[in-house]
Amino acid sequence: MKAHTRTGERGISLMEVGLAVALLAIMALVAVPASQIMNRRLKEMELRHDLREMREAIDEYHRYAVQGLIKQTDVTQDFYPPDLKTLVKGVAVSGQAPDTKMRFLRRIPIDPMTGSDEWGLRSTRDEPDSTMWGGENVYDVYSESTALALDGKTHYNEW
């Protein structure tokens, strides 16, 4: 019996397979950190959006209160909301039916950096860089995350 010989057929050597696997591994090592950075960048964009949304709601509440469209019984509030939940629950508007409420936020956003709906708060009587809320009103909000931002200079709780 004659041995069957293959002529003219080419195959992939073990060295070529090893080289291809090594190149794929290098590309994967580059892709993983890039995706992590992209994920953090998306969270930072979401944090900026959420902070802007809440600050605009606080400013809108303040504008309504200063114009007398919202009645405030507590003079220590300085025309600012007593808490973030008030912006969601809504407040009665002067000159409207008693059950008509003006809402400034649909919901309290989740902080993308901490995964919680708890935010750092400042009142008008707190220092600008205070990390303790005085409780009189809500003048400003910030993330409670102390992690360093992608810019390498600021922390999320400073935004």
The 10s digit of each residue's pLDDT in 11-61 is 778 888 888 888 888 888 877 777 888 999 999 999 999 999 999 999 999
Question: What pLDDT is recorded for position 1?
Answer: 59
What's the pLDDT score for residue 7?
A: 62
Percent over 70 (pLDDT), the chain: 92
Q: How many residues does the chain have?
A: 159
Q: Which residues contact 92 (CB under 8 A, 6 or more apart)?
A: 70, 71, 98, 100, 101, 102
CA dist., res. 124 & res. 76, Å (int): 9
The predicted pLDDT at position 34 comes to 77
Average pLDDT over residues 61-72: 88
- Predicted local distance difference test score (pLDDT) of residue 60: 96
Rg (the chain; Cα; Å)? 28
The beta strands (E) that lie in 50-97 are given as: 91-92
b/e burial code for range 45-55 (CB count within 10 A of at least 16 → b)? eebeebbeebe
Sign, Cα dihedral of 83, 87, 89, 94: positive
Tell me the pLDDT of the chain averaged across its residues. Answer: 87
Residues 34, 37, 38, 42: what is their CA dihedral angle, to the nearest 10 degrees?
170
Place of tokens 């003006």: 102
Q: What tens digit of pLDDT does each residue of 112-139 get?
A: 999 999 999 999 988 888 888 888 899 9
